[in-house]
Structure 1
Amino acid sequence: METLEEQAPDLFEEGAKLKEGIYVALDIALEDGKYVLKNVDENGNILNEDIGLFTKKEELTPFFEKCRKVLQLSNPVDKNKIFNPNLKIFNVTCSPYAVGFTKKGIINNIEKIRKDGTTVGKSGILNELTKQYLKKAEEYVEEGQSSAWFNALKSWLTVYFWELVDKIGFNDLKDGYVIVFFHKEVPIVQYKKPYLKYVGENVFNKAEFNTSYQDIIYGVSDSLNTFNDKKRFLKHQSASFRFNYRVHGEDAQLVLKFYQLSKNKQLPNPLPIFVDKEEANLNADVVKLFNNERVSGYSEIIRSLLDLRKTNLQNFYLMFVQKGQIIDLDFVPVFKYTLKDKEENDFTLKEMFGTEPVMYFNSKDHNVFDFQFMVVNPIFNKQLVQETKAGALWIKYFDDLEIKPDYGLTDAIYNLLYKYRKAWYDFIYKSKQQTITMTMIDEMFKDSIIDDLRHDEELKKTAQMRKKLSLWFGLQPLFDNNFKTNSMANKTVELQTKIREIAQTESFHITTDDEFAFAAGQLIWKLLIQSESANRSHALLEPFLQKTEPVLFKQAIASTFNMYKYKFALYPTKYEFDKLLSEVMGYDPDILNMKEHLPMILAGYFSESIFKKQ
């Protein structure tokens, strides 16, 4: 944070985005012993130049820019550390020169019934303003001009608060809008001193937790710790110590600044934090790219850094923040922007089962973030990475998920995401390639494809399942140490030719388990396509895949053949279908667990049919 303050000072000056609501500058002066409002017209209305309703569609005019800076230098450290802790009405600002609240806060409290049975009402809200908010604010006022400004605002609002609320059109405002009154004559720089004093007193959790060492106060950072004294099941029961660590005030303020930048969305998420002294300047580069050059995506930031430095990125921490909490923090020794296979060679992923040649991924042309979008996302029915209406990418590695079958987020995909998305995050963003194994790849694709089978209607998911199967087999060089001796992709290409030869040649026979499984897949496709149902579906394949023993598997094929045998003509000599059916029914596989044959059954099923006329 100190490096950022030196190299990107504007980052801290720009602060938060302005909240939607109405902002009013009050020019209050003392005349003849009475405080009066100077910036009003003949009807007593605030001059147009000193009042404004800000919405997301509004441009940041000089007036609104001043309002933004007022908010920046009066922003509460925490919702529990405001000047009005009782009813928490005036919770938008913490400053002796500004009073901020929301319409909702007024509405929710004005009719509230106290414990003694009385209603809060307008008088109660005004009492909260004068005896809580302004009384606390006065603690941060120094003598002299500072005191004069504060007394002017205090005295005038005490008398005219509700009249001003009515004049700004309170009833017409949206409930969520903020309402901020501030002293017009106070220079922005004068907001800073009382605010820094307020922050310094409130960055620690509780004063009773503070301790002094060599005249320096150390305490528990309020940004990093919460204490669940009233929630017994959230309290640590077995720790031998009460506090994990304390920090001194300056560090606590740096931590607070970090969380404020994160909350204001002035930092990318995830955020790389470079720790090597020689690369510390990269931290400022990251922030400048994100804020000044509007490079919003993490992948674009990494690409820009690589273009700037012309070298690998290394020795950085990667932090992911969600809802004001650090969800993930890990060290990345070296980041790999491009992917290679197990032998450090380039690789490609292309369609293996469709008739049209399609290239899904080429490591020469694509990077690891392309891999995330082009290869990983399809496993999860494109539910891990989605494009928003604004064109940005919504990446859900840490989001809460909701099952939505109509959009592809079925029970099975939901479970796969929760089980494997963190491993993929580590693989892609931290270059921890050991987090994904071939066993995991097998399970992900198997479960995803079977889920597609179950939800298929009218064979609409054919292309989607063929793509997943192609990616599954094609990923072996990246994750399987034995891919050269057990390449599913090579086997599939060979089997597409071999099974055709077996079907067409009387003297050729099935001799391996892979040939058996692939041929069975071809037969099942040929049989199921005979269905005259109005809704033919790949779901009919699943019962075959559920068989665990070869004899039961063959019985399922035989039963299906009996159902459709009237569609197959009988000839004196065997033809392709007849020949292949006899080969499959007559072969006894060495591996008796049919679940082990699932990949090759699927390969045969989704390959171009050998029974198709050439």
Structure 2
Amino acid sequence: MLQGCIAVFQKILEEQGGGEQKILDEYVPANGTYLIVSKDGTIRVQEEIQLDKKTKEIRKGLHFSELCFMDYHSRLISMNKPIDAKKVIHSDNEWSFWIKKDSLVSGKLTEEIIDGYYDTLLDPVGKKYGKSKEAVRIYRNFEEKNGAVDQEALERCRKWIKDHIFSLEGIDLSKKDYLKIFFEASEEEYIREDQRYILPNIYNNNDYNVEINGEIFGLPDDNLGMNVKKPFLSIKTRKYPAPYLLNEHQVMQQKEFFNYLTNQAAIGRLNIYVDTDQNKIYACGGNEVCEEHINSGYFLRLKKGKETEIPWQDNLSGYKQEMDIPFYFRNFTNTEYTRHPEYAKRFGKIERRNMLKDCINDVVFWNYLNGNLWLEASEVSTVDDKMRCDILRAREAIREWSVTAFGVDQDKRLESVLEPTSLNALKRSVLENQSERIDWQLNFRWSSKAYFSKEEDDSVGRSACEVMEYVKQKILSEETSYIEEDHDNEYYFAVGQLVAYLISLSKAGDRNQALINPFLNTTSNGALRQRLTQLYTKYNYAISDGSRRVKNLLAMIMAYTPDKPFDVEMFIWGYAANNIVYTKEEKK
């Protein structure tokens, strides 16, 4: 997978003239104050670079491009491979000097540390690589081809830093960001000294390096920290235990690709789509998707931390956001939603997968899904443990359906997780006594059933609404009317109506959860009848003896024996709908 992505990335670089320009065009330096010191020792450039965390816009100065080049060629591979053993100085060559401003304020930066940094650059074999024969060999090979460090230039930079770093003026040291100082040098000099650091450090551990036909192969350091603390990464049955090995050319290509991914992650583009047919890469925001058709390729989900990680990836095959059959979110109940007018805006035709995912996030998961879609299980946080479990249960199927559109029987998988989670959402709304949300979620469930059954009409939701009319006619009838055989939906709707009416007679302050919860957890009709009898016994003192509607409701319930198990959806529909017992008589 990774090599396929890198191959596409390299082709894009070649199409743009080769080199690193694509990376530099989208490069995002760390927040901080940037200085360029000219060869005569004066500060030629002083600029602030700031990335707005909300808008992802970068505050740039006139010399932003120049600073990006210098910055890109002065970065450490990781903080585990510093030039400065104390990890106070974060740059990798004599032309640059990076520190956190806090190091100046707190006194962490000392002349001793400055000397240690430049001494290591001057003699890396003696100061840094001496314990690793492989690192020494790689460095010596580079030195033979490119020469030793320019000692005169290094000492000039060292002197300037020691003379000025503790007395710089016009710099806000209160900010928790970087102070980066660059010295004027040619692009070739920056690239050469950057390579001097990179080549001995680019592999995860030089102990895993092997030489084959005069060429060095090693374990790359990107997204893979293989060491004695992680023996499970070692493949013991092989001569070389490393999972895979790359030569110098390949590992540099992988580094370039991860540098590109790091830039995208820095500006919030966490969804990466790689089209291996068209040789294109689409970088999208964390909650965005690619709108292009991709016949074959890969999807990468990035995570920004100390390093850019790829915690989740998937294949792409025939990817497209357009749904084969539109999803119609219908307002079957014709509710006006006066308290929540925003609910009504969701109704309509949905033709794109990500739009349906956002609808599911809103209706079923109370806007907690999108923020938890990619988090580690331990990091998922919601209103309660039940919703947390529902999100963990459903999110993989939702991701595959909406973000990558890949997998066998996608609709069936989505349906299998939406059925229980949307029902749990309904129960949660009942306990919260949110009548309009209950109605909204019922409309969504009925719309979902119509979509997954591939029916073009609205028979699912329409039949549910017809049930209410049938029950209403029976309750308001002058004579007792019974439910016909095989009409379980009417029965469970009527039970919901009766439970809502009896609970309305309670004079308790917080009556909803304690009284309705036992019914929501019912699994059989026998238990349902038992709890209904208990509730009726408790509140029948408040029922008028002449209440014809209540008698009709009781009679139709007690005279009917359902064939199907407890239908909690129809029960909730009856419970949440306007109570027919309280319906005003229509004037004749």
Counting aligned pairs with the same residue, the percent is 16
**Which residue in the other structure is 1:589 paired with?**
562
**Offset from partner CA, 1:98-155 (integer Å, 9 cap, x none):** 1222234466774xxxxxxxxxx83432332232244439979989x9989x445432
**Which residue in the other structure is 1:607 paired with?**
577
Query: Within 2, Cα distance between the matches of 1:251 and 1:240?
Result: 22
**Offset from partner CA, 1:170-204 (integer Å, 9 cap, x none):** 995136322222222x1334312332343344322
TM-score by length of 2: 0.80
Give the 3 Å change call, closer, same or farther, for CA 253–167 of structure 1 in structure 2.
Answer: same
Give the 3 Å change call, closer, same or farther, for CA 255–475 of structure 1 in structure 2.
Answer: same
2:73 aligned with 1:90, yes or no?
no
**Which residue in the other structure is 1:445 paired with?**
422
Q: Do the aligned partners of 1:353 and 1:606 also contact (CA within 8 Å) in 2?
A: no
**Offset from partner CA, 1:64-98 (integer Å, 9 cap, x none):** 432222111111122222222x212222x212311
Q: Do the aligned partners of 1:87 and 1:109 also contact (CA within 8 Å) in 2?
A: no
**Which residue in the other structure is 1:370 paired with?**
355
Unaligned runs of 5+ in 1: 30-36, 40-45, 111-120, 291-295, 306-311, 386-393
Q: 1:468 aligns with which of 435, 438, 441?
A: 441
Q: 1:412 aligns with which of 386, 398, 406?
A: 386
Query: Within 2, Cα distance between the matches of 1:349 and 1:607?
Result: 19
Two-structure CA RMSD over aligned residues (Å): 3.6
> 1:579, CA displacement in angstroms?
0.5
> 1:426, CA displacement in angstroms?
0.3
**Which residue in the other structure is 2:112 paired with?**
124
> 1:578, CA displacement in angstroms?
1.4
Query: Within 2, Cα distance between the matches of 1:415 and 1:298?
Result: 21
Give the 3 Å change call, closer, same or farther, for CA 174–237 of structure 1 in structure 2.
Answer: farther
Give the 3 Å change call, closer, same or farther, for CA 427–2 of structure 1 in structure 2.
Answer: same
**Which residue in the other structure is 1:598 paired with?**
568
Give the 3 Å change call, closer, same or farther, for CA 370–102 of structure 1 in structure 2.
Answer: same
**Aligned ranges 1:119-268 → 2 under 5 Å:** 122-136=110-124, 150-169=150-169, 173-174=173-174, 176-184=176-184, 186-231=185-230, 235=233, 242-265=241-264, 268=269
TM-score by length of 1: 0.77
Query: Within 1, Cα distance between the matches of 2:235 and 2:473?
Result: 71
Query: Within 1, Cα distance between the matches of 2:421 and 2:193?
Result: 57
Q: Do the aligned partners of 1:530 and 1:564 also contact (CA within 8 Å) in 2?
A: yes
Query: Within 2, Cα distance between the matches of 1:417 and 1:80?
Result: 36
**Offset from partner CA, 1:23-53 (integer Å, 9 cap, x none):** 3333345xxxxxxx3x2xxxxxx5xx43344
> 1:467, CA displacement in angstroms?
1.4
Query: Within 2, Cα distance between the matches of 1:374 and 1:514?
Result: 27
Query: Within 2, Cα distance between the matches of 1:206 and 1:187?
Result: 31
Give the 3 Å change call, closer, same or farther, for CA 135–378 of structure 1 in structure 2.
Answer: farther
Q: 1:349 aligns with which of 314, 322, 329?
A: 329
**Which residue in the other structure is 2:553 paired with?**
580
Determine helix, strand or coil for the equivalent of 2:473.
helix
**Which residue in the other structure is 1:118 paired with?**
none
Determine helix, strand or coil for the equivalent of 1:553.
helix
**Which residue in the other structure is 1:6 paired with?**
14
Residue type of the alignment partner of 1:464: R
Q: Do the aligned partners of 2:50 and 2:60 also contact (CA within 8 Å) in 1?
A: no
Query: Within 1, Cα distance between the matches of 2:369 and 2:570?
Result: 28
Residue type of the alignment partner of 1:350: R
Q: 2:29 aligns with which of 8, 14, 18?
A: 18
2:402 aligned with 1:428, yes or no?
yes
Residue type of the alignment partner of 1:7: E
**Offset from partner CA, 1:561-602 (integer Å, 9 cap, x none):** 34433443222xx722211112212323234x5xx3211111
2:310 aligned with 1:339, yes or no?
no
Q: 1:554 aligns with which of 506, 529, 540?
A: 529
Query: Within 2, Cα distance between the matches of 1:477 and 1:446?
Result: 16
**Aligned ranges 1:356-395 → 2 under 5 Å:** 356=336, 358=344, 360-363=346-349, 366-385=351-370
Q: 1:319 aligns with which of 300, 303, 307?
A: 300
Query: Within 2, Cα distance between the matches of 1:213 and 1:223?
Result: 22
Q: Do the aligned partners of 1:316 and 1:331 also contact (CA within 8 Å) in 2?
A: yes
Determine helix, strand or coil for the equivalent of 2:417.
helix
2:543 aligned with 1:568, yes or no?
yes
Count, aligned residues:
537
Query: Within 2, Cα distance between the matches of 1:208 and 1:163?
Result: 40
